Structure 1
Amino acid sequence: MAANQAETEAGITAAAYAEIPDNFRETAPFVCTDIKEIKAVFFRGERVIFYDACSFRRHSGLPVPERSILTNFFKERGTVIFITRCILMELAGERHVLPKQIVDFMQALSDAGLRVVLFNEEHVRDILAECFSSQERVNEYLLWAVRTVKTPVSSIMDALKSDKKLHSAVLEEKNLKSTDLYQKFFAGARGCKAHDDNLGEELLSVCLHVLANLPGLPAGKLSVVTDDKGAAGRIDSVMRKSGIQNQAARIILYSTPKLAQHMYHEHDNLTWDNLVNLLSAGTSGNITVMGFTPFDIAVQEKISMSPRDLARKIMEPNGISIVF
């Protein structure tokens, strides 16, 4: 009992993550959850940005001026913000409560005129069904995506191993006519969510793999914002495989430094102080980026400097090109 109490006080518990945070109703006025509206928002939006948990936390801590710059930048480009159910679970953590700063950021995005969507991963079936009438074809896209994303050591594989029926349906193509395969797979996977695993990013990769194959989807409509280099590598690897095999639409990966540089190049009024604040939010010490300078002949994986120096490099003509 004493050990369990100590773990609880330290914030490291054995409790399962909750699909619905205890205080989720606080977000009801400014987060869209209706599937009909979600489909309309997805197809109508010029850009759909999926946020990873680490970047959403980071941007929720932005000072008000820089937060306004970010939200205005999104709004001017017809952006809608999507947060998957598993990423929401990570934001709420093992205490099952969304921090006030997270809730306030959701409201700030909505107040700025942006649509904020809670996207259950299984909603990809509803979106795909708008383009394909065959249930077998819709299910095949999920199976291809799971096979592309999973590895022998992965959170998805752990979830499939724990459910023989799900393993059979997804990996052995049993019952391709099932109308609830997406629901069973994603709900089953989320039920295996564990402390510090990669499930959120893996399920997001599955969603992106499926959505990238929508007919006529413009390149760059789908974007991911993440500051987790491991997650970015996994998503990039999946999308490269998808593009080679299925001619899928290109998806853009943004880290906060890459997004800040992109914003600076398209925003005449972005100052050095703004850049420093954007780069510094949620971090301490030097920032490490992938990129190249005029003196490099190849991308450097570890360019490390302070936010102040990186801001100067971004503002300097041909100073640095950030890849991630």
Structure 2
Amino acid sequence: MATTYTENPSNFSEVESFVETEISEIKSIFFSIEKVFFYDACSFQRHSNLADKEKDILINYYCERGIAVFITRCILMELASDQHKLIEKYIAFIKSMNDAGVPVILYNEEFTYDILSECFSSNDKINEYLTWAVRMVKSPVSTIEETLKSDAKLYSEVIEGKTVKSSDLYKRFFTTVRGNKEHHDNLGEELISICVHILSYLPGVFDGKLCVLTDDKGAAGKIDSVMRRTNPQNRGSKIILFSTPKFVQHMFQEHVEMSEEAMINLISQGRTGNITVMGITAFDLKVDEKISMTSRELVQKLMEPNGIKIVF
């Protein structure tokens, strides 16, 4: 039986007071916050299952570094899954971040239009960013492609760039695509990719302000390919892609206090067997896409000076 999704989990009231949903506040947070972290479903699931000690390391880092956590509507749909409700661990993780002072944003993807409208007065310009991003992200076999193929009007507007003066194009596109979400598709990651790609063009959004946390190599590849397919002279600010191992190394390099065991627990959560990363060691001339070792060996390697640089 196919998995069905809902935009509004049946127990959303249990988490509603811990997340920001008002676009006026979201715009204010976006422009004033130091960094924005978009969570993919797989990383959110893993981090919510951490023991309190390791979870607190992440939350304290978010708080101290001025980070806002963004959970897109499509990712919320994935977290609620076919049960149409959020499990207690997800709710507890969101509550813990909120209690620590970390802004947690429920981000409807169409809010991207509202944020861009703060800087661009022309709908033509704002809609052009959506057209370009969707062209870069969509693939021959995807929920986005199937949605556009079945909706000639939306296709002409989004892909062909017709009727670019429409003020509701973002809302119609994102709500229609979310309504066609299917089990095991990559829609959550694709919509994050579209949003961060567009937001990266905003004036004042510096390199590294926008970050995506994902432990899905396919999702990371999708986001990275959008950046690479865009001509260098037309690219926006640089977006950071963090896997959990890369993020642990980043925190270690920033001198976050955490034990070797805590680092091992952070990296190994939700995994069995060896950890495989993309990286480069002191003796490599190029990135190795399949460096495989135990979580303890990997942590010891990243703690060594020039031991390993994790790319993903």
TM-score norm. by structure 2 comes to 0.97
Q: Alignment partner of 1:175: what SS?
A: coil
Q: 2:148 aligns with which of 151, 160, 171?
A: 160
Q: Offset at 1:229?
A: 0.3
Cα 1:42–1:153 shift into 2, 3 Å: same
**Stretch moving more, 146-155 or 120-129:** 146-155
Q: Distance in 2 between matches of 1:203 and 1:89?
A: 12
Question: Residues of 1 paired with 2:146 and 2:185: CA distance?
Answer: 11
Q: 1:295 deviation in Å? A: 1.7
Cα pair 1:209 1:242 within 8 Å, conserved: no
Matches of residues 198-277 of structure 1 in structure 2 within 5 Å?
Answer: 198-242=186-230, 244-277=232-265
Of 117, 139, 154, the residue aligned with 2:105 is 117
- Which residue pairs with 1:49 in the alignment? 37
Structure 1 residue 177, shift from structure 2 partner: 1.2
Match in the other structure for 2:286: 298
Q: C-alpha offsets along residues 3-23 of structure 1, whole Å, 9 cap, x if unaligned?
A: xxxxxxxxxx42521011111
Q: Which residues of 2 match residues 1-324 of structure 1 at below 5 A?
A: 13-242=1-230, 244-324=232-312
User: In structure 2, what is the equivalent of residue 8 of structure 1?
Assistant: none
Aligned identity (percent) is 57
8 Å CA contact retained: 1:161, 1:167:
yes
Counterpart-to-counterpart distance in 2, 1:321 and 1:151: 31
How much is the aligned-residue C-alpha RMSD, in angstroms?
1.2
Unpaired segments ≥5 residues, structure 1: 1-12
Per mean C-alpha deviation after superposition, the further-off stretch among 132-141 and 264-273 is 264-273
Structure 2: which 5+ runs fail to align? none
Q: 1:243 touches 1:250 (CA, 8 Å); kept in 2?
A: no
Kindly state the Cα deviation for residue 264 of structure 1 after the two structures are TM-superposed: 1.0
Corresponding residue pairs, total? 312
Contact kept? 1:242, 1:248, Cα under 8 Å: no
AA aligned to 1:81 is V
For residues 128-168 of structure 1, give each alpha carbon's deviation from its aligned partner in whole angstroms, at most 9, with x where no partner exists. 00000011111111111111111222221111112222112
3-state DSSP of counterpart to 1:49: strand
Between the aligned partners of 1:45 and 1:243, the Cα distance in structure 2 is: 28
Q: Distance in 2 between matches of 1:128 and 1:50?
A: 17
TM normalised by structure 1 equals 0.94
CA shift for structure 1 position 68: 0.8
* Distance (whole Å) between structure 2 residues aligned to residue 242 and residue 132 of structure 1: 21
Query: 1:175 is matched by which residue type in structure 2?
Result: T
Pick which of 50-59 and 93-102 moved more: 93-102
